[in-house]
Structure 1
Amino acid sequence: MEMEQDFTYDIMGVCLLAGKIMLESGAETYRVEDTMMRIAASFGIAESHPYVTPTGILFSVEAEEPTKTKLIRIMERTTDLEKVAQVNGISRRISAGEMSVGEAYTALKAIGASKSTYSYAVQVLAAAVASGCFLIMFKGSWGDFIPAFLAGGIGFMALLYFHNLVPIKFFSEFSASLLIGLLALLFVKTGIGSDMDIIIIGSVMPLVPGLLITNAVRDLMAGHLISGLAKGADAFLTAFAIGSGIAVIFSIM
């Protein structure tokens, strides 16, 4: 009996670890819950009840009496769809009977401990290129491509730096947008750039929480009202931080 209980807790540990990695990496709430239930069912637990919010996961199983429940906190949230895909791959292998509980837990631990797929240098370069391309997409002139490229890259670098310095999203996003506004103003004043508005718009686009807004809407449509509203509020705070940083620059012009 004790061995059965330990095995049940091991299965719950695998489910919670999979859900934690997915939620921290930007997965939708309903996708996290579905993955956890599928893993539990594949290991012989037909009745499982995950309750997922952006800040925590509550998981309960009815394998035998009394009902077992575990809770895990979610402290950090980012966007890493590669990890979401890897956890989905582990889930499919479990469903196919190709992995035991121990093997699945070890594989998930390795995914959770792995660093970001791309280095900081590649992320900054991608943000810089995206900023320049967004400027062209918003009908800016090619003469402003380099200013937007530089402002977007430096702004994203500042976002990463300030977030590591002070792990408060609002502070890092506000500081990054403030720096982007200052750079855009400097480029225009020195004659390097011509259209300050378009340079700013293109440069802040890598900071915009597009995936967070999409997940909030999808969670609301799926009926996860608490998660949808929480993610919507998070996206609103990010947008407010970006707007506030740019507003400060316009107020001192």
Structure 2
Amino acid sequence: MDEKLQYNEIIDVCLLAGKIMLQNGAETSRVEDTMVRIAAAFGCADSHSFSTPTGIIFSLDGMHPASKLIRVSQRSTDLHKVTLVNSISRSISGKEMTPEEAFSRLKQIEGAGMGYPLWGQIFAAFIASGCFLIMFQGQWNDFIWSCIAGGMGFSCLLYLHRLLEVRFFAEFIASLVVGLVALFFVNIGVGSHLDTIIIGAVMPLVPGLLITNAARDLIAGHLVSGLSKGADAGLTALAIGAGISAAFFFL
């Protein structure tokens, strides 16, 4: 095989692996480390990787130096895909895969759907909302109402993410729904503590993984990614808070 063509295939494998990981919730340091390890396993010891939340630059040095850039426009959370890419990376390091086989397997992972169906995600948010209410010292008689408010808010979030491409608007409307549902239950007399119902129900909307990755990137020295992810998490939290505040205008 032509050496230059082989270099391009290795870069394609590294970029696709990094793209899948970055799109599905991996921190920047893990993305860059995985890409460099894959290149080294294929015999390219001199490689350079630079990742931000919106793009990846990867280059190889040698007889035929080459660089490529890939954009990352959509991001979600599916740590199962991150685990699968890590598994492929280990297989490559163990000389168990060729670049062609690795690229084909990564394409399959990229095209696969989410690890859990929508109803499973909504049910998890439903139960988690009630559990958060209890964790924040809420009353058991508010458990089901917090579950319903959280489930409805999370359902709204998923629907709006599919329907609209406007950032932070889905979080604002979803938290507004949470606030209105909680107010409804308290006003009709079945809910007793509005604050704990809202706190429990809004927790599935909070960008916990994004906040964690922002802190880990800053600690690892990835200042651009850490600050941008922190800003993203902060604006998301602001949208959630604004939605809850807007709900109180209906009091």
Counterpart residue number, 1:131:
129
SS in 1 for 2:58: strand
SS in 2 for 1:60: strand
Q: Which amino acid aligns with 1:47?
A: D
Aligned residue pair count? 251
| Normalised TM-score (structure 2) | 0.98
Counterpart residue number, 2:111:
113
1:197-240 alpha-carbon deviations (Å, 9 max, x no partner): 11000000001011100100000000000000000000001100
SS in 2 for 1:44: coil
Runs of 4+ aligned structure 1 residues displaced above 3 Å come to none
Query: How far apart are residue 193 of structure 1 and its match?
Result: 0.7
Aligned partners of 1:23 and 1:32 also within 8 Å = yes
Aligned partners of 1:15 and 1:36 also within 8 Å = yes
User: Is 1:35 matched up with 2:5?
Assistant: no
Counterpart residue number, 1:252:
250
1:159-190 alpha-carbon deviations (Å, 9 max, x no partner): 00011110223010000000000000000001
Counterpart residue number, 1:54:
53
| Cα-Cα RMSD | 0.9
1:54-82 alpha-carbon deviations (Å, 9 max, x no partner): 000000110224x3110000011111110
Q: Which amino acid aligns with 2:18?
A: G
Query: How far apart are residue 152 of structure 1 and its match?
Result: 0.4
Quote the Cα distance in structure 1 between the aligned partners of 2:84 and 2:170.
29
* Mapping of residues 73-222 of structure 1, within 5 Å: 73-222=71-220
Q: Which amino acid aligns with 1:135?
A: L
Counterpart residue number, 1:44:
43
| Normalised TM-score (structure 1) | 0.98
Query: How far apart are residue 249 of structure 1 and its match?
Result: 1.4
Aligned partners of 1:25 and 1:80 also within 8 Å = yes
SS in 1 for 2:70: strand
Counterpart residue number, 2:21:
22
Counterpart residue number, 1:9:
8
Quote the Cα distance in structure 1 between the aligned partners of 2:4 and 2:27.
30
User: Is 1:71 matched up with 2:69?
Assistant: yes
Aligned partners of 1:56 and 1:72 also within 8 Å = yes
Quote the Cα distance in structure 2 between the aligned partners of 1:238 and 1:85.
26
1:23-46 alpha-carbon deviations (Å, 9 max, x no partner): 000001000000000000000101
Quote the Cα distance in structure 1 between the aligned partners of 2:62 and 2:172.
48
Structure 1: where are the runs of 5+ without partners? none
Structure 2: where are the runs of 5+ without partners? none
